[in-house]
Amino acid sequence: MDPDSLERVRRQVERTFARPTDLRVANGPPEDTLERRRGQYSSTKILRWILTTMASGRRKVLGITDVDLFIPVLTYVFGEAQVKGAAALVSTARLRFTYDERPASPSLVEARLLKECLHELGHTFGLVHCSDHACVMSRSNSVLDVDQKATQFCCDCRQRLWGLMDEERDET
Amino acid sequence: MKFKGSILVVDDEEIVRDSLASWLEEDGYHVDAAPDGPTALAKLAQQPYNILLVDLKMPGMDGLQVLAQAKSLQPDTPVIIITAYATVDTAVQAMKQGAYDYLVKPFEPEELSLLVGKLTNAQALRRENVLLRKALRRQFEFKDMVSKSPKVEAVFELARTAAKSNSTVLILGESGTGKELLARAIHAESPRRDGPFVGVSCVALTETLLESELFGYEKGAFTGAVGSARGKFEIAAAGTLFLDEIGDISLKLQLDLLRVLDTREFRRVGGSQLVKVDVRIIAATNRDLKKLVESGTFREDLYYRLNVIPVTVPPLRERKEDIPLLADHFLAQFRIEMRKPLEAVSAEALEILMAHDWPGNVRELRNVLERGAVLARGPIITSMELELVPPAPSPTPSGSPEPADSLREVERRHIVSILRHHNWNITRSAKALGIDRVTLYNKIKRYQIHEDD
């Protein structure tokens, strides 16, 4: 991903969650997360690895990768997160293409990445999928689903998010 | 947050369990995981799950074995089999054994989303359906009575409220409307439900017999009283005493009854000791007690004592919308009693039932349907099997009404004379006329016969 694009995503994440957010480049994912037979990376294994790389003093870690992700029973996943946990992961591998497999414009890819980052981080605060298709927390099984939703939480999810963030702050 | 349901994932591979659990948790499900069949079954024995996701190939107990045992532990929980081998045989076998569906891995995220979503939506609808049915049943039923008529619903509501109190209830209504059933329902809903429900038909016995029946007697109280016996008041202790046909008791007994209601104590016939009673009284009559008070045959003070909570059960002709509901209700009873696969009454038969006037009320309807159920050769009771005469065609188009009128007049006069002869005692008059009480009541009503005739 273009560093400027990643910086814009970082700023939006920081603004949305009102938490200091920084970018760090990591070398990975490790070899053992690759499933050679499928030519894909295990998102669950990468998530576990990310947790080991988390800098001290940080509450959440979100991995952004361009490798294609899967979980054993599914053909692919866009990302994965620990609900009410510390780690989340987003892949740009499938976000870079249109529904009919043509390359998508950089601005569209950036918009999709931001949505998926907000979505997966939303899970780490405890939000689950929303039935409102326009809400960023609605489940996306295809790039069409991603394009359909807004870069925002619906009113219910936003309120719930604030509550959950307060709870998390109180716990520490 | 709204609880979407709980899912149990059974797979021997840890990474599969973890990733699937994480994926489903993002949807808002509570996910439990088990690494093998025995662990899964132990979890199933402990708590209910909305969905089971089971891997087919596992060492030891395989997915099909888990499926078979899960079906006996939680028969209503849908099981989705996950398999890497897309063989038709295993799929067919899984479905035959009661699996809801099977997924061949790896499958599209959309597929799993849809399947799980569809199942939880269906379950939510089923739950809602059960709740609505329950609410509906409560609306239409009061113990063994069914109705959707607003009039009867008001009666049920009043009876439910009355049940909670200890007050005397007076049930009014024509014969066959279900007065005793309502009395039993009130008893069953009352705090006295664990005590006895004792019914007495006041019209069936002579004055002296009724007296000893109600209050009991001591040895030697009358010829033949070789021992002492408890009366209905004592038998009904801590329960409910149902006095049916209260309008037919003698003035002397009315006074005795009034005393018991006032003092809550009495003496057995031929006895000297006072016996304390703790009974709730429910009285019923098909007669117009107010008129009886006016004519001096019923004590006014007793009337007010009994008329604490009056409940009037409307006749069936005033709640005809209940006929299909009642027909269903009775058919369901007969289906069990007669062990016959009865399903319904035919449209034509229902039309006849709706058109009939039901002088004998619900009891008559039940009898007609019972006869139909006995005669029915198939699951549908036809009009032929009901043996109910279709309603007479209204106004005779031709012919002279005169002779008919005169015959009616003769019948009317005869009934009045018999009633007078028997001092307006319905039971004795009906016997003398060779008809039952209900028929006599109907004739009295139809001919508008009054005691001053």
- pLDDT tens digit string along B228-283? 889 999 999 999 999 999 998 999 999 999 999 999 999 999 888 899 989 999 99
Q: What is the per-residue pLDDT across B420-437, written as a single tens digit (0 to 9) for each? A: 877 888 888 888 787 888
Is the pLDDT assigned to residue B292 strictly greater than 90?
yes
* Contact criterion met (CB < 8 Å) for B109 and A141: yes
Options A80, A110, A116, A120, the catalytic residue: A120
Partner-chain contact A83 B25, CB within 8 Å: yes
Q: Known catalytic residue: A14?
A: no
**Residue A73: which of B4, B25, B106 has the nearest Cβ?**
B106
ipTM value, please give it. Answer: 0.86
Contact B1, A160 (CB under 8 A): yes
Count CA atoms closer than 13 A to B269's CA, side-chain side: 25
User: Which of A41, A73, A146 should one mutate to test binding to chain B, selecting the residue with the greatest count of B CBs within 10 A?
Assistant: A73
The per-residue pLDDT for range B135-159, each reduced to its tens digit, is 665 556 677 788 888 888 889 889 9
Rounded to an integer, the average pLDDT of A77-98 is 94
User: Which chain B residues have any C-beta within 8 angstroms of a chain A C-beta?
Assistant: 1, 4, 13, 15-16, 18-20, 22-23, 25-28, 82, 103, 105-110, 112-113
Of B222-226, B248-252, B436-440, the one with minimum mean pLDDT is: B222-226
pLDDT category, B402, cuts 50, 70, 90? very low
Which member of A44, A77, A128 has the closest CB to residue B109? A77
Within 8 A of A121 by CB-CB distance, chain B residues are none
- Give the residue with greater pLDDT, B394 vs B323: B323
Q: Do A81 and B103 touch (CB under 8 A)?
A: no
Query: Which domains, and CATH codes, for chain A?
Result: 3-126 (3.40.390.10)
> Mind listing the domains of chain B with CATH numbers?
6-133 (3.40.50.2300), 143-314 (3.40.50.300), 317-386 (1.10.8.60), 403-446 (1.10.10)
A139 chain-B contacts, CB cut-off 8 A: 26-27, 113
Distance CA B48, CA B45 (A): 8
Residue B197's pLDDT band (cuts 50, 70, 90):
very high
A/B interface, count of CB pairs below 8 Å: 73
Q: Tokens standing for B96?
A: 């035959």
Q: Is the dihedral of CA B424, B313, B392, B331 positive or negative?
A: negative
pLDDT in tens, A31-77: 999 999 999 999 999 999 999 988 888 899 999 999 999 998 899 99
DSSP string, A10-51: HHHHHHHHTS-----------GGGEETTTTEEEHHHHHHHHH
Looking at mean pLDDT, say which of A50-59, A147-156, B106-115 comes out highest. A147-156
